[in-house]
C-alpha cells in the first residue's frame, strides 16, 4: 500500500489538529498537586509536591523567582502553562493558563495569591494526568 504526498499531508494535518500539549508539563504536575500549593510555602515544599520545575527565572533585584512547570508546545492545538512565583523564597502567586488555538489565545484557569484562590471549569481538564 502506497501513501502519496496528499495522504501524508492529510495525516500530518490530523496530528496537528488533535495534538495536545500535556507532554510540555513537568512530570509531577497534576490538578491535585497544584491545589495543594499554598502561599508562604518554600521552594523546597513546592518541589516535594510537584517535582522539579522545567526552568527557573530569577529577578535578584526584586528578590523574586519564577518556577516554570510547563513550556510552550509549537504545533499543539492547546497546551497548559503553570508558573509559581516566589518572593523572598516563599510562594506568592500560582498561575495556570490553557493556551488554545495553537497558542493564539489563552484562558486563565487557576490563580492563587494572598487574596485567595479561583479556578475555571477548565482547570481540571487542563492539568489532569
Residue with more model confidence, 42 or 4: 42
Q: Give me the pLDDT at residue 21, please.
A: 43
Q: Is 92 helix (H, G, I), strand (E, B) or coil?
A: strand
Q: CA quadruple 122, 123, 125, 127: dihedral positive or negative?
A: positive
- Alpha-carbon distance of 110 to 11, in angstroms, equals 34
How far lies 75's CA from each of 55, 105, 107, in Å?
A: 21, 14, 18
pTM for this model (two decimals): 0.79
Torsion on CA atoms 105, 124, 108, 48, rounded to nearest 10: -120
Q: What is the pLDDT of residues 20-77, one digit of tens each?
A: 444 678 989 999 999 999 999 999 999 999 999 999 999 999 999 999 999 888 777 8
Is residue 12 predicted with pLDDT exceeding 70? no
Count of other CB atoms within 10 angstroms of residue 98: 21
Q: What is the pLDDT of residues 78-90, one digit of tens each?
A: 889 999 999 999 9
Q: CA quadruple 25, 29, 32, 38: dihedral positive or negative?
A: negative
Amino acid at each position: 500500500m502506497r501513501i502519496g504526498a496528499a495522504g501524508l499531508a492529510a495525516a500530518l494535518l490530523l496530528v496537528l489538529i488533535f495534538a495536545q500539549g500535556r507532554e510540555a508539563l513537568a512530570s509531577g504536575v497534576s490538578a491535585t498537586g497544584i491545589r495543594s500549593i499554598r502561599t508562604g510555602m518554600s521552594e523546597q515544599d513546592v518541589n516535594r509536591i510537584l517535582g522539579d520545575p522545567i526552568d527557573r527565572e530569577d529577578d535578584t533585584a526584586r528578590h523574586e523567582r519564577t518556577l516554570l512547570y510547563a513550556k510552550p508546545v509549537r504545533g499543539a492545538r492547546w497546551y497548559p502553562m503553570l508558573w509559581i512565583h516566589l518572593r523572598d523564597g516563599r510562594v506568592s502567586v500560582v498561575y495556570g493558563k490553557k493556551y488554545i488555538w495553537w497558542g493564539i489565545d489563552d484562558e486563565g484557569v487557576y490563580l492563587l495569591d494572598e487574596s485567595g484562590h479561583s479556578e475555571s471549569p477548565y482547570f481540571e481538564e487542563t492539568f489532569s494526568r
